[in-house]
Amino acid sequence: MKKKILKFAQLCIEQNKDIVQSKLVIQNFGNVSIRFDADHFLIKPSGVNLNKIKANDVPLINIKNGKKVFGKLKPSSDTETHLEIYNKYSDIKSITHTHSTYATGWAQSGKAIPLLGTTHADFWKNEIPITEFISKKEIEKNYERYTGKIIIKTLIKKKLNAYNCPGILVMGHGPFAWSKKIDGSTKNAEALEFIAKLAFISDQLKIKKKIPNHISRKHYNRKHGKKAYYGQ
């Protein structure tokens, strides 16, 4: 069992390095977690130099009670946000939180990212949604846990399936992305940032016509539908 944990822990380290190399985060911002099994996930340790840590430093967290059961270092301060999402969606295998420039800009503007083109539609079926602000009362109770709860609340309120909506903006804060694949959430976080940048540019250029629904649906379904065939 320990050998398997260390293997997954090394994957977690590498994926956290990926978001740095992709320039989705600066300094010690951001975190990636991966599900180990039905009841546990591994997450980036808090405030570390990723080039200096080892697999047995990476915290393994029990999804049911939030307790660390393996790993020498303290888990990320955002651990309870990840825990809430894993608890709610059993098929999610990885979660990435960044402070990437354009996606965070949209989050700070209080605006969802509108579906403007086929690149967006290749990943999200609809707009990339944004939560409301977390209340003062919720922050005083448990800020990180209620960040997870407001993400879930927003998806439910908007009648969105988390598996068709692989990421969201937390108002005033930044993006969270997830995936049914262990190596998928970092890719979705990268896509979210690229889409956010395209949407910003499109908005600056003044959008003449909104993409027709039949085109955006085609792009989503050819990649994610029952008869998906798209690949590059």
Q: Which residues are catalytic?
A: 122, 230
- Say how many C-beta atoms besides its own lie within 10 A of residue 185's C-beta: 27
CA end-to-end distance (rounded Å), the chain: 37
The 10 Å Cβ neighbour count of residue 216 is 21
| C-alpha–C-alpha distance, residues 153 and 49, integer Å | 34
Spatial distance between the Cα atoms of 6 and 154, rounded to a whole number of angstroms: 35
Handedness of CA 183, 152, 132, 211 (dihedral sign): positive
Distance of alpha carbon 176 from alpha carbon 185, whole angstroms: 9
